[in-house]
């Protein structure tokens, strides 16, 4: 039989973990998570611009400068993936991976996964990939102008 003190200790531990977890609205993405990594040498060289999303709720990055009248000149940080696909067409390739936020207890934000799409001759678009429960929308958080397509290499 489980003692009352054991149940109380488990309850206190659960509350402590809840207090440590960061809860954000589903549409919020932390700009610190958008900082460049070693896998993205262009961003690491300081050529990224921080831009507010269309709804003003978070910041994203634009790496490089899209050519006038190009596909990437039409997209804006914060657009949903379906909006972008409707505007500039389907991507040539796509890659999905989990972020470290996937393992945060009680994290309900939409940035526990990332989706990176490649448009040949343009570069890469990076989206939030939703939460661990399958919810959340794919919001554009990074535009990487790279006609060579190296932005997709890992």
Q: Residue 49: pLDDT above 70?
A: yes
Q: Is residue 147 part of a domain?
A: yes
Name which residue leads in pLDDT, 94 or 23. 94
Q: Is residue 18 part of a domain?
A: no
* pTM for the full predicted model: 0.66
Quote the Cα angle for 83-107-153, to 5°.
55
Q: Residue 82: pLDDT above 80?
A: yes
Q: Is residue 131 part of a domain?
A: yes
Question: Distance (Å, rounded) from C-alpha 107 to C-alpha 139?
Answer: 17
Q: Is residue 127 part of a domain?
A: yes
Please give the tally of structural domains in the chain: 1
Q: Is residue 110 part of a domain?
A: yes
Predicted pLDDT at 1: 58
20-29, 88-97, 140-149: which range is least confident on average?
Answer: 20-29
Q: Is residue 20 part of a domain?
A: no
Q: Is residue 14 part of a domain?
A: no
41-50, 84-93, 120-129: which range is least confident on average?
Answer: 41-50
Report, as an integer, the average pLDDT of 67-89. Answer: 94
Name which residue leads in pLDDT, 63 or 42. 63
Contact predicate 27/139, CB 8 Å: yes
Contact predicate 51/61, CB 8 Å: yes
Percent of the chain with pLDDT over 70: 61
Q: Which pLDDT tens digit goes with each residue over 99-129?
A: 767 677 776 667 767 889 999 999 999 998 7
**What's the domain range around 119?**
25-152
Q: Is residue 10 part of a domain?
A: no
């Amino acid at each position: 039989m489980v003692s009352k003190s054991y149940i109380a200790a488990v309850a206190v531990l659960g509350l402590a973990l809840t207090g440590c977890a960061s809860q954000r609205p589903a549409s919020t993405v932390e700009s610190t998570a958008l900082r460049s990594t070693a896998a993205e040498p262009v961003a690491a060289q300081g050529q990224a611009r921080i831009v507010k999303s269309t709804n003003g709720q978070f910041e994203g990055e634009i790496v490089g400068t899209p050519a006038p009248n190009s596909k990437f000149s039409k997209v804006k940080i914060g657009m949903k993936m379906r909006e972008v696909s409707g505007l500039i067409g389907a991507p040539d390739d796509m890659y999905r991976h989990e972020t470290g936020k996937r393992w945060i207890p009680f994290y309900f934000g939409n940035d526990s996964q990332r989706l990176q799409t490649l448009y040949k001759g343009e570069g890469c678009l990076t989206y939030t990939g939703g939460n661990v429960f399958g919810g959340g929308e794919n919001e554009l958080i990074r535009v990487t102008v790279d006609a060579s397509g190296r932005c997709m290499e890992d």
